[in-house]
Amino acid sequence: MIRRTRWTWFVSLAMLAAGLALLAAACGGGGKKTQETTTGAAGTSQQKTFPNFRIVYDTGTDYLDPSYSYTVQGWAAMWNVYLSLLGYKHVNGPDGATLVPALATDLPQISADGLTYTLTLRSGVKYSDGTAVKASDFAYAIKRDFLADSPGVGFFTNIVGADEFSKTKKGEISGITTDDATGKITIKLVKPQGDFQNILATIFAAPVPQGTSSKDQSTTPIPSTGPYMIQSYTPNRQFVLVRNPNFKETANVPATNPDKMTFKIIEDDSAALQQVINGQADYDFHPIPVDRLADVQQKYGDQLKIYTPANTYYFFMNTREPPFDKLAVRQAVNYAIDRNALVRLYGGLATPTENILPPTYPQYEKHSLYPLDVAKAKQLVQDAGVAGMTLQVWGSNRETSKKPVEYLADVLNKIGFKTQVKIIDASIYWTTIGNQKTKAQIGFADWFQDYPHPLDWFDVLLNGTRITDTHNNNYSDFDNAAINAKIASLKQKTTLNDTVNQQWAALDKQIMQQAAWAPYVNRQFTDFFSTDIDTGCYINHVLYQFDFSRICMK
């Protein structure tokens, strides 16, 4: 009797515990379960898996195709999806800029003349669909960039035969030779190029299966090589990343924590913030609205991270279009904008700047060529004979673009122009202003480094020889022969020593004397997490910013 009673009591207790466990699992729905395992090639990396990381993303995702995407949002999501031959360490701080082999076995062997790069593909690497990754897939990826008229084609024009391929779009790029049997890849360059290893680490160079259409594959995702694969993408609504079943972690591409990442695209910053506060999402990618920053800092200080990526926000002025074909007018805009006012538009999370390069660069030397002087600006516009001209001021519908553009329009009105503001959807903004047919006169632009090298700024954004008809990155169409020659000369420097750094710094000033842009701030950013997230796992990468794949739950 007693035994029976005890047995019944024990069973009841066990059932109650099981019921509670089931209830807890059901309540956890969104994925609060954390499983801690120690994995890794060397058995050192600690993995804390959980079912679903719910991200509230903004509308900046242009494409989810490695040949097409050229936004922070696109790359941050695809960093862990499409691996290139080389990559970067998944760590916090400046060490994150260290190049490491990703799909390659080692860093490239570079010939003494700096013209030949030799790499070997890791053996046994498979795409998420199970097919083997071949060395020739790398060559195809570069060809696909040209076929797709990718915004990244400018990175590869120094490869022997690339120019010819870009014209004919037929055959092979003669400078890339591959051997599928051994995995050996050889790349021959026309001239030595200081940043070519960094370029090999960009997503544009990520191998894709041969035969992949050169059309945008965002909604029919290309098989991946990284820890995740894109499960689905509904533009402007949502995309989902799930684990790649064929991915095997390495020392440089470590194991990841979320089994799945759901990126919900929301335009409104306030709504996004509220979703995280309410526990409907785990992470807010949006900047926190300026008037809520203090409140969020006070109430959820532990869940808020502030960081400064290498970035410059600027207004481009199209030097091919009047009135910005006149130096005096470009200088007038630089004199007229109050950079301290623009800092406030970003909630104080910004530093005023007149430089091209951000202060995080060793080549940065602060210069102040254009102190605020609205009267002088007005006079310059009058003298140039363009007062009263109507200007179209371009911006995207994101708050971080719309507000400075409205401010700029007001400033331009004050110095003698008549403005029409053109605000278009963020997802098509860059391709629209990057199309020469648009003839965008002036507008909002920003730049976040693709890789930590001054060439990523001067060569990509301000080299007149790299202006393209579509997907143009040189929104100012700035084309100055002396500056182009200087960039070409510095491009061949394979090491960045003090002398070279000083030359880059001088070039920064020289370009601003030509007022190619009106740079205004270097911004700071926020990452905001729900209380379920363990911010101890937080990694902010120097290039890709917050590393979604390494976060963990409490």
The span from the CA of 397 to the CA of 374, in Å, is 27
| Cβ distance to another protein smaller for residue 362 or 388 | 388
Q: Which two tokens stand for residue 122?
A: 């890791």
Among 91, 100, 160, 349, binds another protein (CB under 8 A): 349
> Rounded to the nearest 5°, which phi and psi values hold at 167?
-85, -45
**In the complex, what is the shortest distance from the CB of residue 419 to another protein, in angstroms, rounded to a whole number?**
9
Q: Are 422 and 394 in contact (CB under 8 A)?
A: yes
Binders of another protein among residues 385 to 424 (CB under 8 A) are 397, 399, 402-403, 406-407, 409-411, 413, 420-424
Answer for the pair 214, 147: CB distance below 8 angstroms, yes or no. Answer: yes
Residue 294 touching another protein (CB under 8 A): yes
What is each CA distance from 320 to 12, 82, 438, 517, in whole angstroms?
81, 37, 12, 13
CA-CA distance, 328 to 503, in Å (whole number)?
25
338 near another protein (CB under 8 A): yes
Count Cβ atoms below 10 Å from residue 252 Cβ, excluding itself.
Answer: 19
Nearer to another protein, 5 or 278 (CB): 278
Cβ atoms of 257 and 48 within 8 Å: the answer is: yes
Nearest-approach distance from CB 309 to another protein, in angstroms: 17
- CB closer to another protein out of 91 and 293: 293
Q: Pick from 80, 461, 457: which is nearest to 256 by CA?
A: 80
25 vs 271, which CB is nearer to another protein? 271
Contact stretch for another protein (CB under 8 A) within 39-47, 264-272, 381-389, 444-452: 264-272
* Bond preceding residue 108 cis, omega within 30 of 0: no
Looking at beta carbons only, is 378 or 403 nearer to another protein? 403
For 322, the token pair is: 């009047």
Q: How many residues does the chain have?
A: 554
What backbone torsions phi and psi does residue 457 show, to the nearest 5 degrees? -100, -55
Give the nearer residue to another protein in terms of CB position, either 177 or 274: 274
Binder among 260, 264, 292, 509 for another protein (CB under 8 A): 292
Q: Which residue among 345, 377, 384, 515 contacts another protein (CB under 8 A)?
A: 345
Quick check: 534 binds another protein (CB under 8 A)?
no
Choose one: 11-19, 45-53, 84-92, 263-271; the region binding another protein (CB under 8 A): 263-271
Interaction mask 223-262, another protein, x per CB under 8 A: ----------------------------------------
431 touching another protein, by CB under 8 A = no
Which one among 293, 327, 328, 506 touches another protein, defined by CB under 8 A? 293
- 29 is written with which tokens? 């729905």
Angle at 147 between CA 143 and CA 150, to 5 degrees: 95
Structure tokens at 354: 């007149």
Of 296 and 460, the one with the shorter C-beta distance to another protein is: 296
Using rule CB under 8 A, residue 290 touches another protein: yes
Q: Pseudo-torsion of CA 477, 478, 481, 482, nearest 10°?
A: -160
Chain positions contacting another protein, by CB under 8 A: 268-270, 274, 289-295, 297-298, 306, 338, 340-345, 347-349, 397, 399, 402-403, 406-407, 409-411, 413, 420-425, 432
